Amino acid sequence: MKLKQLSLFLENKPGAINDPCQCLADAGISISTLTLADTKYFGVLRLLIRDWEKAKRILEEKGFVVKLVDVVAIEIDHTPGSLARVLDVFRENGINVEYLYAFPAGLDGRAVIIFCFDDPDEAVRKLSDVPGIVLVDGDALFRE
Amino acid sequence: MSCKASGPAAVNPVSAMDYMPVDKLRTIQLERLKFIVKRAYDNVPLFRKRLEERKLTPESIRSLEDIQKLPFTVKADLRDTYPFGLFASPMKEIVRLHASSGTTGKPIVVAYTEEDIRTWSSAMVRSLAGCGIHEGDIAQISFGYGLFTGGLGAHYGFESLGATVIPASGGNTERQIMLMKDFGVTCIACTPSYFLHMSEKAEQMGIDLHDLPLRVGVFGAEPWTDEMRRRIEECSGIKAYDIYGLSEITGPGVGCACEYQDGLHIFEDLFYPEIIDPATGEALPDGQEGELVLTTLKKMAMPMIRYRTRDITKIVTEPCACGRTIRRIARISRRSDDMFIIRGVNVFPSQIETAIMAAESVLPVYQIILTRDHGLDNIEVDIEVNEQIFQDKVAAIEDIKAKISHSIERTLGIRVVVKMLAPNSIPRSEGKAKRVIDKRKM
């Protein structure tokens, strides 16, 4: 139920984000979704890619430091209050969210949010049986 | 993690000199000192001129202490007499030239007769035997081959010892690891930082160095710390030995650690050591820290009399548990010309290195940047993130950064700015990053 996210260290300077994107482009690898965390001096680029193993290998060959991080995708309705209901479940179960971002394509007209939790295994265990919480696996998310 | 079992203890006749009674050793040293001073006086115009200026002749040397009357030789002397000005042998007797990389202006050139090459090899054999290396070992030499003395110096030593030599030279790390694994390499010789790089690469390739026959590393050609030695030993299960040398004196093999890994034995029947106060040039007693000065007692092609190494160390007074009578120097982790002064405090890059390792137990590539703003000196330490340091969570990276800056501040008593940089963003020359960039306008 967990997805592999690639995290890259970037310096906070013009053009720093171009290099990894260009090197994925050259290899014909498509980024499904991404988010960039920034601080004063550096940033962390997080990428969700179908063929993450190939992407990781290519980025590392180019000298990037890449970390693999487990994240969890949850499907929700495109309706007011849907995300709030999911977040309520997290609170009730004591699950802490580190950060989140959206999967723009969605799935069958529904929204997909990518969550990074303190403890992804525990989160998956607690959430998998909760009615109304739909965890999405990689096969479903990355299907053509 | 315990180290891998060593083979049979090395017994090499050439090591006999290491155990000579001290009074006999001093007699040999004095005889050889007289010989080499006369040789330099007779054949090297610069040396003769300097002795004449001081109203000295080779006969002025009557005891080992008399060496203190002699003038120092410094690196600039080699540059000023470029290329062959300090040679004491005619070119037809010189069988080899080596040279420094020469990042600024002309390189320095050093020369060897056939006998010098044999002497050098014997010093290397004694170094390697002390590290428990013996006939039958398979040695990968990953020092650079070429003008640099590291590659060929180690090569001749390992061959003379009877080991099987793989002249891998530097670079192409993945292939190096493949050779190490496929050839059953038992010893490696390279810079300590390159070995750490190799071990990271091996991990990425899914190879655990603990599983390979590799058991001994002989590391040198750059200052390193005990922390780094322990890290190397932990990540690979090998024993890591410190070897010392410099081209001006001969190359690697001037001194080397023994199985007790407590300082480096100087092969002082060949290379006479003194410690001086780097500011005044005065000789310091054994046990006191200062600059190492070396005199080559047997070098025919290019005698070096009282050469100032710029390496800071001390002569260890306690006898070594290994029984060698030749004296030891403490590990060299800094050079007198690396030191910088900031806000009145003397700082060596090695102190910052130790502080980083105390915080993170890994040594990333780093660079120290000194700036002056409105008359106030500032110190910035730039650190390249690597696999161990980089974390997905911004807060985790900030924590590491704070830990490193606190550790440095505790060591120096000065506030520092720590910056995290992308991998490979600090420029390297010959694999080494320049440690200190001083942007202050004095």
Select the residue of A11, A37, A69 nearest B422 (Cβ to Cβ). Answer: A11
Distance CA B47, CA A144 (A): 81
- The predicted pLDDT at position B2 comes to 44
Closest CA to B69 of B270, B281, B268: B281
Mean pLDDT value of segment B316-335: 90
Verify that B220 and B251 share a domain, yes or no. Answer: yes
The per-residue pLDDT for B7 is 46
CB nearest B422 (choices: A9, A60, A98):
A9
Higher pLDDT, B104 or A138: A138
- pTM for the whole structure: 0.68
Burial B91-108 (b: 16+ CB within 10 A, else e): eebbeebbbbeeeeeebb
Q: Taking CB atoms and an 8 Å limit, are A67 and B391 in contact across chains? A: yes
Select the residue of A7, A46, A63 nearest B424 (Cβ to Cβ).
A63
Nearest to B420 among A41, A46, A67 (CB): A41
On the CB side of A39, CA atoms within 13 Å amount to 18
- Residue A123 CA to residue A116 CA, distance in Å, equals 10
Band the pLDDT of B280: cuts 50, 70, 90. Answer: confident
From chain B, the residues in CB contact with A16 under 8 A are 422
pLDDT attached to residue B417: 93
Cis bond before residue B71 (omega within 30° of 0): no
Residues of B in contact with A9 (CB under 8 A): 385, 390, 397, 420, 422-423
Antiparallel, parallel or unpaired: β B251-256 and A66-76: unpaired
Q: Are B251 and B99 in contact (CB under 8 A)?
A: no
- Say what the pLDDT of residue B101 is: 58
Q: Which residues of B6-35 are buried (b: 16+ CB within 10 A; e: fewer)?
A: beeebebeebebbebeeeebeeebbebbbe
- Judge whether residue B356 has pLDDT over 60: yes
Distance from CA of A19 to the nearest CA of B (A): 12
pLDDT at B8 over 50: no
Domain boundaries, chain A: 2-69, 70-141
Superfamily of domain A2-69: VC0802-like (3.30.2130.10)
B192-239 pLDDT, tens digit per residue, is 888 988 998 898 899 999 999 999 999 998 778 888 899 899 999 999
Other beta carbons within 10 Å of B419:
17
Looking at B289, B317, B336, which one is the last position of a domain? B336
DSSP string, A9-67: EEESSTTTTHHHHHHHHHTTPPP-EEEEEE-SSEEEEEEE-TTHHHHHHHHHHTT--EE
B431: confidence class by pLDDT, cuts 50, 70, 90 = low
Q: What's the domain range around B348?
A: 340-438
CB within 8 Å of B123: residues ≥ 6 apart: B157, B250, B253, B254, B267, B270, B271
Q: Are B165 and B153 in contact (CB under 8 A)?
A: no
Superfamily of domain A70-141: ACT domain (3.30.70.260)
Neighbouring C-beta atoms of residue A17, cutoff 10 Å = 17
Of the two residues B139 and A63, the one the predictor is more confident about is B139
Cα B248 from Cα B269, distance rounded (Å) = 17
Per-residue pLDDT band for B10 (boundaries 50, 70, 90) equals very low
| Domain count along chain B | 2
Contacts of B393 in chain A (CB under 8 A): 44, 98
Q: Which region holds residue B361: left if phi is over 0, alpha if psi is between -120 and 50, else beta?
A: left
Q: Please report how many Cα atoms fall inside a 13 Å half-sphere around the Cα of residue B282, on the Cβ side.
A: 5
Tell me: do B292 and B422 sit in the same domain. Answer: no
CATH code of the domain containing B319: 3.40.50.12780
Of B336, B359, B383, the domain-final residue? B336
What pLDDT shows up at residue A72?
94
**Residue B137 near residue B189 (C-beta atoms within 8 A):** no
Contact flag A9-B424 (C-beta cutoff 8 Å): no
Computed over every residue of chain A, the mean pLDDT equals: 89
Same domain, B141 and B24: yes
DSSP string, B26-60: HHHHHHHHHHHHHHHHHH-HHHHHHHHHTT--GGG
pLDDT at A46: 95
